[in-house]
Amino acid sequence: MYYYADDDHNGSLSLFDYNYLTDETFKYSDTGSDASEYVIMKNGNALSVIEGEVYISRDFVNSRTFTKDIQLTSSEKYEYSPVAIDDIAIYRRGGNYFLIRFDSTKAVSNELQLTNDESDSISYQLIANSGTYPENSRTLISLMFARYDNSAKNEYIIPDYSGEFVKAERRKRGISKVKYFEYAIRYAGKDSLLQIITEFKYPDSVRYSTNYVSYSPDAKEILLDAETLDRHNRKLFIYDNNTRLVKEIYSESDTAWFERHSNTTSFISNDEILFESEISGYNSLYRINKDGSGFAIIAGGEYTILESVVDRTKRKVYFSANKEHPYEYFIYETDLDGNSFKQLTSESGDVQDLRLSGDGRYLFYTHSYINKPNELYYVNLEDYTGKQVTSTISPKFLQVEWNVPELINFNSEEDGALIYAFVYKPQNYNPKKKYPLICFAHGSGYLQNVTYGFSPYGDNFLVNTFLTSQGFIVLDVDFRGSLGYGREFRNKTYRNMGYWEVSDYISGINYLNSLGHIDKERVGIYGGSYGGFITLMSMFRRGDVFKCGAALRAVSDWGNYFYSNRWYTLARLGDYNNEENKEYYRISSPITYAEGLQGPLLLLHGMLDDNVYFQQSAQLTQKLIELHKDFEVMYYPKENHGFRLQSSWLDQYKRIWKFFEKNLKNP
């Protein structure tokens, strides 16, 4: 098992390998200068990019050294993104793909250029491969490529004001035109290869987004899992490599939209397919035959299956799910018929990154708890014993008495839905005292933050601990739209974003007030990205509840955001270019309600943000000026959507803390 970790706690990652048979760990002294990229091959060699050229490093797993034993390329341009498939190397140069064969001593074919029209408007992506065919076959390997034509996308300018002169980076946003091609790579002589290219077309004229592509084990068929761009309709197709015919074998639809989890759609035998679906209301695993018959559930219920790995030989599937409680995930095992269900882990927290060892005997994963970031673990699948492999958390981090929040749940005052939340209380909490309350709103929309695992918003976990040390209570809610609670819980926000999320916070505030924990007249809210959007909606629409708010990199106008991220908005609000959908965008956009701002508002945004453009905050600022509103702004000239400079992070949170000190303790 190879992994990267920061065991020195200095902010830089080192490469390690762990031998699970001998229980030995080895740290590579220097990974940066030896190989910029590498792939470990089945025979123990490594396909490596060293100083911009592609090499084979023989017996890498034992020598643990990137050597230049077999040089496969020699060009003036830099090679990158290596892929190893038996005795074939695929790599990129100048945006295009190339292929070459090799043996134990040298390259044994001429370099074959697979794509040749990569440009600013055209790009390719290798999305599937068949593996190598038997030596008696005319075909060496089959590859599936997606060709994206970006010429119709809109171009946007992101000015950079941080240097001596203003620079402007140009980004394209929109929907690409896409075509799919299968490449059959065949022998054309002793050292030569040729490619036969066949375009794959879906059987209708719909523009699909293809999420998963998989060759059958015998490489006779290709499975494609595709959905419409609005993510309302999803289909499975089978493409026959011999007849070139495409057959639809499965379809489903949703009145709102689908969300993908981390379970692939793939062949589990030459005739059977495994895929995830929410048709039951919760994400579950299903099986279907390649002719469309035999549809059956493998695992699922009123819980969410997030990740899975399959052992085709043993016909087992291992998956993570919040089966016992919505707020913690364990690993489970079942067979591909849905029998012999077994729970493999029981330690409270979250599990992620499931990986099956090559021999199928060990299942590796990462585990975390609220106040403990991820570490690497394994389960021995023969005797079901487990072990923690790494201990990489900084001693300085462990010495801090982090505030582990209290899990609560309450019912929505509007529709009765059960809502889960975390409450962070001061360590010297006095039940006779009423505290000012700060609500934290997580980002992404479809993300789960109320779990026993370490938060994906780890910095906010640290900040929330600090805020409690300053005499605040913090409320963190998995509002409507969050992951882990089923399709209906998510789809409540469809074409009405921001309403139910704010409503869930208000129900939580009223619940805490009924317990006597908080001073309801001193309630603030903060969050970034989608959390910033919720902050704006709270301040503009429910100023009677939220007395102040700090919005980081917030979406203020979904109509504007449509042009920077259509994938996100098409599903939730529809096509903004269709007049009938504009009302959904209007009622879901904070800028619509800016007149309602009553209390203090702090806007913070990175000026290089290429996700939620800085334009969002600039236009909202102008709107608030025109409305004669009082507010504060802080913009960061060197920052993107996710801040990278520690000085920016520190400045941001110090300002937020002082903002709440001023407006909640001395309103």
Does 98 map to a domain? no
395-410 burial by CB neighbour count: b if 16+ within 10 A, else e? eeeeeeeebebebbeb
Q: Each residue of 506-546: pLDDT tens digit? A: 999 999 999 999 999 999 999 999 999 999 999 999 999 99
Q: Which of 236, 233, 209, 235 is nearest to 222 (CA)?
A: 236
Model pTM? 0.94
Report the b/e string of 75-87 with b at 16+ CB within 10 A.
eeeebeebbbbeb
287 domain-assigned: no
Q: Give the model confidence (pLDDT) of 171-194 as tens digits.
A: 888 999 999 999 999 988 777 899
Question: Is 250 part of any domain?
Answer: no
Give domain status of residue 23, yes or no: no
- Decide if pLDDT at 667 tops 60: no
Q: Would you say residue 579 has pLDDT above 70?
A: yes
Round the average pLDDT of the chain to a whole number and report it: 94
Within-domain flag for 44: no
90 within some domain: no
Is residue 203 a part of any domain in this protein? no
d(CA 97, CA 255): 40
Q: What is the pLDDT of residues 615-640, one digit of tens each?
A: 999 999 999 999 999 999 999 999 99
Structure confidence at residue 382 (pLDDT) = 95
At residue 476, the pLDDT reads 98
Domain encompassing residue 587: 401-665
Q: How many CA atoms lie within 13 A of 523 on its CB side?
A: 23
Q: Which amino acid is at 114?
A: L
Contact, 399 vs 381, CB < 8 A? no
Taken in order 587, 591, 594, 600, is the CA torsion positive or negative?
positive
> Tell me, what's the pLDDT at 121?
87
pLDDT of residue 104 exceeding 60: yes
Answer whether residue 390 shows pLDDT above 70: yes
Measure the CA–CA gap between 390 and 454, rounded to whole angstroms: 16
Q: Average the pLDDT over 450-460 and give the result.
A: 93
Would you state the pLDDT for residue 391? Answer: 94
> What are the pLDDT digits (tens) for 109-151?
999 999 987 677 899 999 999 999 987 788 999 999 999 999 8
pLDDT in tens, 296-330: 999 999 999 999 999 999 999 999 999 999 999 99
Q: Rounded distance, CA 364 to CA 308, Å? A: 12
pLDDT at 30: 57
Determine contact, residues 16/26, Cβ cutoff 8 Å: yes
What pLDDT does residue 609 have?
95
Under a CB-based contact definition with an 8 Å cutoff, are residues 150 and 123 in contact?
Answer: yes
The CATH code of the domain that includes 502 is 3.40.50.1820
Average pLDDT over residues 422-439: 95
13-62, pLDDT tens digit by residue? 889 999 999 999 999 875 445 788 999 999 999 999 999 999 999 999 99
Domains contained in the chain, number: 1
pLDDT given for residue 205 in this prediction:
83
Q: Which residue from 285, 337, 293 is spatially nearest to 315, judged by alpha carbons?
A: 337
CB contact set of 340 (below 8 Å; sequence gap of 6+): 333, 334
Check if the beta carbon of residue 413 is closer than 8 Å to that of residue 495: no
